[in-house]
Structure 1
Amino acid sequence: MILPILQHPDPMLRQLCQPVLDAQSLAGLIADMFDTMYDAPGRGLAAPQIGKPIRLFVMDTTWKEGTRTPVVMINPEILSRSPEMQRNEEGCLSIVDHPVWVERPARIEAMWMDETGSLKRGSFEGFDAACVQHEMDHLDGVLILDYEVAA
Structure 2
Amino acid sequence: MSQSRKAKVRARLVVMGMMAVTGAAFFYGFLTDDMARVTETQADQVSQGLIIRYIVAMALGGLVSGAIFAGMFGRMSIPGWVLALLGAVLASLIGGLVGSAIGLLPDLAADGLTLTEVISIGFGLVLIPLAMAGRPFMIAVWVVLMVATQIWAGRVRRQG
- State the TM bucket, normalised to the shorter chain: under 0.3
More helix by share: 2
Larger radius of gyration: 2
Structure with the higher strand share, 1 or 2: 1
- Give the alignment's TM-score, normalised by structure 1: 0.27
